[in-house]
Amino acid sequence: MYVNRLQRLLMTQTSTQANANICQHLKRAAQNMPTGLAVAVQHAKQGQFTYQEIDFASLHQQSDMIAKGLIQYGITRGMKAVLMVTPSIEFFSLTFALFKAGIIPILVDPGMGIKNLKQCFEESQPDAFIGIPKAHIARRILGWGKGSVKQVINVGGSGLQRWLANATSLETITEIGRNEAYPFEMALLKPDDMAAILFTSGSTGTPKGVVYSHAMFEAQISALKDDYGIAPGERDLATFPLFSLFGPALGMASIVPDMDASKPITANPANLFAAIEQYQCSNMFVNPALLERLGQAGEQTQHKLNSVKRVISAGAPATISSIKRFSKMLNPGVQVLNSYGATESLPISMIGSDALFTTSELTDQGKGICVGKPISSVNISIIAISDQPMPRWDNVTPLAPNHIGEIVVSGPMVSQSYYQRQQATKNAKIFDGEVYRHRMGDVGYLDDDGLLWMCGRKGHIVDAKRGQQKLKRFYTIPCERVFNTHPQVKRSAIVGVEVAGDTVPVVCIELNKDIVCSTANVLYQDLIKLAEQYPHTEGINRFLIHPDFPVDVRHNAKIFREKLAVWAQAKWRE
């Protein structure tokens, strides 16, 4: 149910009070379960595993010391600090220390590429740079934060690496804090004050800094408690750094496996299975790439995840086959909870795997992907598709059920702005009284039961044209899922190609390498017959086989259609 007028009024009244900080949850956990496990970090070497552990009381105390050290060092409340530290005890201690001190962490995805990283730092103008030696070396060579960064702190590394980083060590900062005898009092801020800047990955466009408030973090914690049912004392296999921070805030231990969190597809399943077994993890957060990789490994070894009672998948739509394969490792009744959202607004809706299986036939017929009903406090609307800014909600008329349009969301976990991106904020936000609604950049529809169906990115729509005359509109997911039912097709992507002044739909095909394929002409005829079965694919009769789709590093699922469009246009001219 959406926040009503009275709730909004109460939120407005309390937003003037300086009483917010996500670390208050850590403080309570340290008081209520001081010796309870907060974080365990796995180290794998030649099939042998060791674990570094810290309890809630120690994590609280250590982050207090670091917070005091940061302030004495000159990194103070309101300053911005880039944080490029691999998942570790230090990562948790540092992040909570920054929040406690009222310092604003800037979190970026290292997999977004050097050019995008530099742009992020130029836009955010950080005052400090905290990172591992590799990050500092890159900072010095590539000029990251040049002109704004005044303090640099190094975390970990060998003697030579530390020397190359040319930065004050975290140990020094901690020692400064330890020598300050006064009891630390965390900064209390207004709920709508900026708490962090999280940059989008850039997999569907230019990375943008999303302004996170303390109220947003609180709303996400509430959703994990109330909608996902996470309770204190649980243990989570933490494969995504940002989500792993919510563990200690929920009184849940974060178990960090030995893997590259920026490239989950490269993870060694044996490491993750060992960590789950060692700590009897009850919760897992996995993206589609990792879901597929673990499912394949589990199928080969007949592995079982008997302690797991909840699996959360997010980041991109997971395939039905991946979910079914992975679910073989779970006990009967344990769900894979597929979450829909974005950096700007997460989570928005959720659907369990059992319910998803019942909608899969409709998905294969091109009805879109069902992503469930909105979670508590979230409102979802569908509006007419437009590239123009929409300043006010009272000038917008939502579409009726079963009509495809832009997905617009509102709720307490929805961001209100991008950092230093005024035009992007105007394009993505619609003012509705005291708050902004967010245009997701996705298209879809609500059905008669209030279920949300996703039909792809707005920017990936293909409009067939004869000259300037629009003939037909093609949405990515409804079209591609039809062709993906062919056994020889691993995945497909529809793009627009210019042919003699007209825009025509062309479907790029990546073949399933596990199946012996027929000739291209036979395959194309099969796909044309498939297209003719449905009104939304009728008229598609051009196909190109691509050897290996360009996809994002983290999820291995978000197709770089812009690159495919350029490739398809060039192939068509050959």
How far, in Å, CA of 169 to CA of 11, rounded? 41
- Residue 483 has a pLDDT of 97
Residue 125, sorted as left (phi over 0), alpha (psi -120 to 50) or beta, turns out to be left
pLDDT above 90 as % of the chain: 80
The contacts of residue 361 (CB under 8 Å, 6+ apart) are none
**Pick among 3.30.565.10, 3.30.1490.20, 3.40.50.1370, 3.30.300.30: CATH of 461-573:** 3.30.300.30
Q: Is residue 13 pLDDT above 80, yes or no?
A: no
Question: Per mean pLDDT, which range of 248-252, 315-319, 540-544 is the poorest?
Answer: 315-319
Indicate the pLDDT class of residue 325, thresholds 50, 70 and 90: very high
DSSP letter for each residue of 18-47: --B-THHHHHHHHHHSTTSEEEEEEEEETT
Section 183-201 average pLDDT: 93
Mean residue pLDDT of the chain comes to 92
Question: Per mean pLDDT, which range of 178-182, 347-351, 525-529, 562-566 is the poorest?
Answer: 178-182
Per the listing, tokens 């079914």 go with: 324
Section 232-244 average pLDDT: 90
Section 135-160 average pLDDT: 93
Chain length of the chain? 574
Q: How confident is the model over 239-271, as pLDDT tens digits?
A: 988 888 899 989 999 999 999 988 888 999 999
DSSP letter for each residue of 178-245: HH--SPP----B-TTSEEEEEE---TTSS--EEEEEHHHHHHHHHHHHHTS---TT-EEEE-SHHHHH
Is the previous residue joined to 347 through a cis bond, with omega within 30 degrees of 0? yes
Section 523-550 average pLDDT: 95
- Residue 14 has a pLDDT of 44
Tokens of 86: 């691999």
From the list 130, 40, 137, the residue with the least C-alpha distance to 85 is: 130
Q: Is residue 109 pLDDT above 90, yes or no?
A: no
Positive or negative, the CA dihedral 272, 276, 279, 281 is: positive
Q: How confident is the model over 505-528, as pLDDT tens digits?
A: 999 999 988 777 778 889 999 999
Indicate the pLDDT class of residue 6, thresholds 50, 70 and 90: very low
The contacts of residue 71 (CB under 8 Å, 6+ apart) are 77, 101
Name the β-bridge partners of 41.
Answer: 52, 256
How far, in Å, CA of 113 to CA of 554, rounded? 12
Burial 265-294 (b: 16+ CB within 10 A, else e): bebebbbbbbbbeebebbbbbbbbbbbbbb
How far, in Å, CA of 53 to CA of 50, rounded? 10
DSSP letter for each residue of 309-376: -EEEE-SSPPPHHHHHHHHTTSPTT--EEEEEEETTEEEEEEEEHHHHHHHHHHHHTTS-EEEEEEPT
- Residue 2 has a pLDDT of 34
Q: Is residue 15 pLDDT above 50, yes or no?
A: no
Q: Is residue 551 pLDDT above 90, yes or no?
A: no
Indicate the pLDDT class of residue 395, thresholds 50, 70 and 90: very high
Section 172-182 average pLDDT: 92
Q: Is residue 476 pLDDT above 90, yes or no?
A: yes
Section 353-370 average pLDDT: 95
How far, in Å, CA of 120 to CA of 480, rounded? 33
